[in-house]
Amino acid sequence: MAITTTRFGGNSAVFDGPTGYAGVDAGPEWAEEILRLAEAKNATILAHNYQLPAIQDIAHHVGDSLALSRIAAEAQEETIVFCGVHFMAETAKILSPSKTVLIPDARAGCSLADSIDAAQLREWKAEHPDAVVVSYVNTTAEVKGLTDICCTSSNAVEVVQSIDPDREVLFLPDQFLGAHVRRQTGRTNMHIWAGECHVHAGINGDELTARAKAYPDAELYVHPECGCATSALYLAGEGFVPENKVKILSTGGMLDAARATGATQVLVATEVGMLHQLRRAAPQVDFRAVNDRASCPYMKMITPAALLRCLTEGADEVHVDADVAARARTSVERMIAIGSPGGGE
């Protein structure tokens, strides 16, 4: 195929990729080659809603963290190519240990997953020996191995509701998602780790308030990892925005809401990659980012060049130590069993 320096989507971003693949044109030849390689290697390509549009468009399945975990657990293909960040590919490997799991760039980490490690969790558990540990899926495999139930933003409320109300809960690592779950469940015996995602935490209440005032008829879709989730509820509580127009949703939940909405304009507080699926789901709606600089640098490491290299070279392969995976599997399987299906296509 042609390796050119054509730019993508009309903007000035050249696809940087691992050596020898930089400047790949994500045009029809690239797409054909990706699908040919995937078929030849019996691989399925999964992409998170925050991936670059070209990656979302070529993937066999696009979805939120929960939907992609469920798809990975049931995949028939020998190889899963995970276009997302490292903890997502690790989760797929935990669920399907006999499969080859590839990620186009193993350096695609997550600032939220980095906010707690296994030693810190061990220490926290020692302070609350009878507590049930609920970890967001944005954690390392080692942390999952010390966890009772994992959750994603789609089912965090249901997961916490499934726990005996008399048991203490340690919820980690996202403080904003934790605050959302505490509000929804009314649970007072829940301790929340003070971690955050730098991308979502950066979407602040002042920006949201200014946007909501500038677009008074718009609905607000806010991801619970955002620093502005509390401000969104405050805006509703103070009557600046009607309560039924403020929706705190996972990325999959945003898509369900977009398909059902009668609104003509929606303000979206999450990573900007989400706008692509939203616009596909409801082309008649004007979706606008609350903060158009909210782009996850880790998600964007999965370039068309990196995906081409991944399928050509069978790299980067994701390995999870068998003991760690065995310890983590129960908590991840509990996660995928709770909450409604959906969130992926």
Contact residues for ligand SF4, defined by CB under 6 A: 85, 110-112, 138, 197, 199-200, 271, 296, 298-299
Q: Quick one: CA torsion of 182, 184, 186, 190, rounded to 10 degrees? A: -20
Distance from C-alpha of 58 to C-alpha of 215, rounded to nearest angstrom: 34
Contact pick of 44, 91, 251, 261 for ligand 13P (by CB under 6 A): 251
Q: What is the DSSP letter of 301?
A: G
How many of the chain's residues bind ligand 13P (CB under 6 A)? 12
Strands 219-222 and 286-289: unpaired
- Which residue number, 43 or 199, has a Cβ lying nearer to ligand SF4? 199
DSSP states along 40-77: HTTEEEEEETTS-HHHHHH-SEEE-HHHHHHHHHH--S
- Round to whole Å and give the CA distance between 140 and 91: 9
Tell me whether the omega of the peptide bond preceding residue 173 falls within 30 degrees of 0, making it cis: yes
- In the complex, what is the shortest distance from the CB of residue 254 to ligand 13P, in angstroms, rounded to a whole number? 8
Query: Among residues 112 and 278, whose Cβ is nearest to ligand SF4?
Result: 112
Helix (H) or strand (E) segment spanning residue 288 = strand 286-289
Q: Is 51 in the site for ligand 13P (CB under 6 A)?
A: no
| Residue 133 binding: pick among ligand SF4, ligand 13P, none (C-beta 5-8 Å cut-off by kind) | none
What angle do the packed helices 175-185 and 229-237 form, to 10 degrees?
A: 40
Q: Which residue is nearest to ligand 13P (CB)?
A: 64
Q: How far is the CB of 38 from ligand SF4 (least distance, A)?
A: 23
d(CA 1, CA 259): 37
Closest CB 206 distance from ligand SF4, rounded Å: 20
Q: Which does 64 bind (CB under 5 to 8 A by kind): ligand SF4, ligand 13P, none?
A: ligand 13P
Residue 153 vs 185, nearer CB to ligand SF4: 153
Closest to ligand SF4 by CB, 269 or 296: 296
Q: Which of the choices ligand 13P, ligand SF4, none does residue 153 contact, using the CB cut-off of 5 to 8 A by kind? A: ligand 13P
Q: How far is the CB of 229 from ligand 13P (least distance, A)?
A: 13
**Contact partner at residue 250 from ligand 13P, ligand SF4, none, CB < 5 to 8 Å by partner kind:** ligand 13P
What are the beta bridge partners of residue 244? none
Q: Around Cβ 97, how many Cβ atoms within 10 Å?
A: 13
- CA-CA distance, 253 to 264, in Å (whole number)? 18
Question: Measured between alpha carbons, how far is 1 from 25 in angstroms, rounded to an integer?
Answer: 10
Among candidates 303, 295, 297, which has minimal Cα distance to 22? 303
Q: Is 153 in the site for ligand 13P (CB under 6 A)?
A: yes
| 65 interacts with, out of ligand 13P, ligand SF4, none, CB within 5 to 8 A per kind | ligand 13P
d(CA 341, CA 155): 10
Q: Does 225 bind ligand 13P (CB under 6 A)?
A: yes
What does 257 bind: ligand SF4, ligand 13P, none (CB cut-off 5 to 8 Å by kind)? none
Nearer to ligand SF4, 65 or 185 (CB): 65
The structure tokens 């940087």 sit at 16
Binding site for ligand 13P (CB under 6 A): 49, 64-66, 138, 152-154, 197, 225, 250-251
